[in-house]
């Protein structure tokens, strides 16, 4: 079955028409640089070598960048396949004509098995009941053997079969050889992003290799063995194996600057425009709670973005925005729809001025690490938290 064969036609065209009617009036948007996405994918491929596959992770709406358009950019740049967390995310890709292999990381639940088979998705499995559900769906559909990836929990303590339970899973697998084939086997590093901890990841890799040997004893030889996330592929080249699973790296960052791959380009910029400017005397109390008092006569710019858009409220009093290439401090509490920024040092700033919340203006740059530090978050949360109220524009 062609991966997207079941998801083309009227429903997709109707969806596209609905999307084309979306009204965008508010001057706040996120620009997504397709060339940067492609460049980052190629940087990962260059780092791991041509013999190692790259599985581009596009879960959580492509880490906030837009899953469908990001997926297309990554596949065009050479990604072997794509990874999502939810079955619904995989179906969305198929509905938009994405034909590359799609690995569903989040597992199989009752009622999902027919959707997986119908959409030619590749499920990650770790329990006998997953195998039973999928095999029954394959028989009902008359489809060819479904590729699956086995997940082994070597230390994350989240998803996956424990090494001591692996034999039981393999016994169950033997009952479904006509319906299922083991294409891959995987595990997931828990501490790869900790530059002070190599031992945990090395121990996980040792456990994984021991489990691979047990698969070999059963004459199960998956063609794709994969372990590394973004941090893992930087710090543990011995764990590249047959495929790596970069997430945040292909969007232009690392979990921290200490584990960032060289040569990445930040793919997202978030921008707005000044809605107006207020001239206020010293001593004026600002925003909800009056937690900040102006210590000089000030010009405050009103920016139509707030925590309802994913601009975190806990950055209040710490965040900065770029206007005319200068850093301007955010003043008072960030509200649901609006923020205030001090433009007193830019006397010529006017309504309609471009404001950059994330990205570059002139020689200044605000990156996800800085925003994450202001907000007490991790870089992933900065882009994933950007709400649907902020339209993504391809650049």
CA torsion sign for 275, 276, 282, 287 is: negative
> What is the DSSP code string of 214-266?
HHHHTT---SEEE---HHHHHH-GGG-TTEE--SGGGGT--SSGGGPPTT---
φ/ψ of residue 182, rounded to 5: -85, 100
- Report the DSSP pairing between strands 224-226 and 29-32: unpaired
Residues contacting 225, CB < 8 A, separation 6+: 184, 185, 186, 212, 241, 242, 243
CA distance 289 to 302: 18
How many angstroms separate the Cα of 108 from the Cα of each of 100, 159, 187, 333?
Answer: 20, 12, 17, 43
**Catalytic one of 7, 151, 251, 288:** 288
Q: Determine whether 369 is an active site residue.
A: no
- The residue assigned the tokens 């079969």 is 161
Please answer whether residues 225 and 187 qualify as being in contact, where contact means their C-beta atoms are separated by less than 8 angstroms. Answer: no
Check 59, 176, 311, 369 and give the catalytic one. Answer: 59
Report strand pairing: 53-57 vs 81-84: parallel
Residue 104 has, within 13 A of its CA and on its CB side, a CA count of 29
Beta pairing partners, 277: 301
Q: Kindly report the number of other CB atoms within 10 A of residue 159's CB atom.
A: 17
388 is catalytic: no
Closest Cα to residue 47, out of 225, 230, 266?
230
In DSSP terms, 253 is beta-bridged to none
Catalytic residues: 59, 288
């Amino acid at each position: 079955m062609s991966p997207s064969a079941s998801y083309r036609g009227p429903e997709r065209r109707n969806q596209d028409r609905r999307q084309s009617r979306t009204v965008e009036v508010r001057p706040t948007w996120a620009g997504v640089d397709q060339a940067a996405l492609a460049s980052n994918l190629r940087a990962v491929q260059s780092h791991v070598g041509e013999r190692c596959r790259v599985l581009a992770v596009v879960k959580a709406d492509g880490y906030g960048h837009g899953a469908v358009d990001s997926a297309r950019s990554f596949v065009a740049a050479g990604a072997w396949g794509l990874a999502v967390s939810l079955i619904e995310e995989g179906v969305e890709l198929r509905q938009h004509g994405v034909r590359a292999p799609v690995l569903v990381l989040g597992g199989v639940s009752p009622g999902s098995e027919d959707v997986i088979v119908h959409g030619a998705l590749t499920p990650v499995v770790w329990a006998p009941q997953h195998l039973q559900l999928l095999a029954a769906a394959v028989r009902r559909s008359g489809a060819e053997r479904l590729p699956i990836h086995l997940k082994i929990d070597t230390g994350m303590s989240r998803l996956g079969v424990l090494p001591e339970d692996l034999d039981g899973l393999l016994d169950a697998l033997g009952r479904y050889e006509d319906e299922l084939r083991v294409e891959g086997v995987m595990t997931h590093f828990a501490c790869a992003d900790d530059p002070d901890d190599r031992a945990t990841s090395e121990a996980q890799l040792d456990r994984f290799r021991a489990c691979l040997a047990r698969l070999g004893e059963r004459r199960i030889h998956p063609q794709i063995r994969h372990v590394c996330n973004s941090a893992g592929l930087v710090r543990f080249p011995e764990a590249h194996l047959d495929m790596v699973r970069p997430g945040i790296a292909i969007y232009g960052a690392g979990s921290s600057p200490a584990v960032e791959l060289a040569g990445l380009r930040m793919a997202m910029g978030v921008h707005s425009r000044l809605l107006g400017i207020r001239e206020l005397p010293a001593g004026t109390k600002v925003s909800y709670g009056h937690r900040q008092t102006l210590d000089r006569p000030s010009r405050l710019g009103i920016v139509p973005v707030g925590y309802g858009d994913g601009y975190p409220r806990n950055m209040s009093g710490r965040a900065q925005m770029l206007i005319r290439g200068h850093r301007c401090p955010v003043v008072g509490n960030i509200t649901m729809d609006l923020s205030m920024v001090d433009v007193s040092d830019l006397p010529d700033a006017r309504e309609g001025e471009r404001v950059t919340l994330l990205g570059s203006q002139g020689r200044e740059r605000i990156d996800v690490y800085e925003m994450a530090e202001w907000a007490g978050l991790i870089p992933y949360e900065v882009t994933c938290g950007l709400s649907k109220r902020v339209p993504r524009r391809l650049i």
